[in-house]
């Protein structure tokens, strides 16, 4: 007696949010050196043309770090934002307590240590702080940034829990921190931002150089126009 073959299960279709999630994983991989800019271009193009979750998973499979390996595409059970790693916390009294930029500019990036309480003062100057690889001295950190006729730019890693209190007087703050608790149980940085005739910009994700920003802006315009292929760099 012959039996009918079991019907095949169709591949689960990918959503726009899952494509964006996969693209973020690839951008994180480029920022950490696992992909170069050209590889990122190729994969981003394929990501936004992908029809199924399986296609997205194949495109990110070789760049995931162990913390990502939890059904990263569409995996609602993940406790930490995909692509994120928890910042290290080494309790102590040391670390950067104060940053002054008066008629000058200050830049902190790479590996540095942030104390449990730090004040950043910008007077006719600016500060650029990248917390992507920072080491924290406490599970809860207070970072106060005051700009008078000056400005600040703060880059946050994807998985860092952040609380923000801000005030702008004859100035403006641009803040985009996403989810309040992307890493439940992880360390928290409380940002207190005061801008007087100045401003601050706070954003998540890897800091891109000028060329990378232009490429991402160009890709966004091409997707809106429905173009198929990216133009090569001149």
125 is a domain residue: yes
Residue 202 Cα distances to 8, 91, 130, 131, angstroms: 48, 25, 10, 11
In angstroms, the CA 225 to CA 149 distance is 40
> Residue 45 class from Cβ within 10 Å (0-12 exposed, 13-18 middle, 19+ buried)?
middle
182 is a domain residue: yes
In angstroms, the CA 186 to CA 183 distance is 5
Looking at 40, 65, 85, which one is the last position of a domain?
85
Our count of domains for the chain comes to 2
In terms of domains, do 55 and 128 share one?
no
217 is a domain residue: no
In terms of domains, do 103 and 188 share one?
yes
In terms of domains, do 140 and 166 share one?
yes
pLDDT, tens digit, 9 for 90 and up, residues 91-114: 988 999 999 999 999 999 989 999
One digit per residue, pLDDT tens: the chain, 234 residues? Answer: 555 555 555 678 888 878 888 888 888 777 777 788 888 888 889 999 888 888 888 888 888 754 444 455 655 434 445 555 678 888 988 999 999 999 999 999 989 999 999 999 999 999 999 998 899 999 999 999 999 999 999 999 888 889 999 999 998 999 988 766 777 778 899 999 999 999 999 998 766 656 655 665 666 555 555 544 444 444
In terms of domains, do 42 and 117 share one?
no
191 is a domain residue: yes
In terms of domains, do 80 and 128 share one?
no
100 is a domain residue: yes
| pLDDT value, residue 20 | 82
In terms of domains, do 55 and 148 share one?
no
- The radius of gyration of the chain from alpha carbons, rounded to an integer in Å, stands at 21
In terms of domains, do 64 and 151 share one?
no
74 is a domain residue: yes
223 is a domain residue: no
Q: Range of 139's domain?
A: 96-204
216 is a domain residue: no
In terms of domains, do 36 and 129 share one?
no
In terms of domains, do 74 and 167 share one?
no
pLDDT, tens digit, 9 for 90 and up, residues 163-174: 999 999 998 999
In terms of domains, do 61 and 114 share one?
no
In terms of domains, do 113 and 52 share one?
no
| pLDDT value, residue 41 | 86
């Amino acid at each position: 007696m012959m039996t009918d073959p079991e019907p095949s299960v169709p591949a689960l279709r990918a959503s726009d949010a899952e494509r964006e999630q996969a693209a973020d994983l690839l951008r994180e991989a480029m920022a950490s050196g696992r992909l170069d800019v050209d590889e990122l271009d190729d994969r981003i193009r394929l990501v936004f043309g992908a029809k199924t979750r399986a296609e997205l998973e194949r495109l990110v499979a070789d760049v995931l770090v162990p913390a990502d390996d939890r059904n990263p595409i569409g995996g609602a059970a993940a406790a930490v934002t995909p692509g994120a790693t928890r910042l290290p916390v080494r309790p102590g009294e040391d670390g950067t307590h104060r940053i002054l930029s008066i008629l000058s500019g200050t830049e902190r990036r790479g590996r540095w240590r942030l104390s449990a309480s730090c004040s950043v003062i910008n007077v006719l100057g600016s500060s650029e702080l990248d917390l992507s690889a920072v080491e924290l001295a406490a599970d809860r950190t207070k970072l106060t940034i005051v700009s008078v006729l000056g400005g600040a730019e703060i880059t946050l890693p994807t998985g860092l829990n952040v609380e923000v209190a801000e005030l702008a007087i004859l100035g403006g703050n641009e803040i985009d921190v996403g989810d309040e608790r992307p890493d439940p149980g992880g360390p928290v940085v409380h940002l207190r931002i005061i801008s007087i005739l100045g401003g601050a910009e706070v954003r998540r994700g890897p800091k891109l150089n000028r060329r990378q920003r232009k490429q991402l802006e160009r890709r966004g315009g091409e997707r809106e126009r429905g173009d198929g292929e990216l133009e090569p760099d001149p």
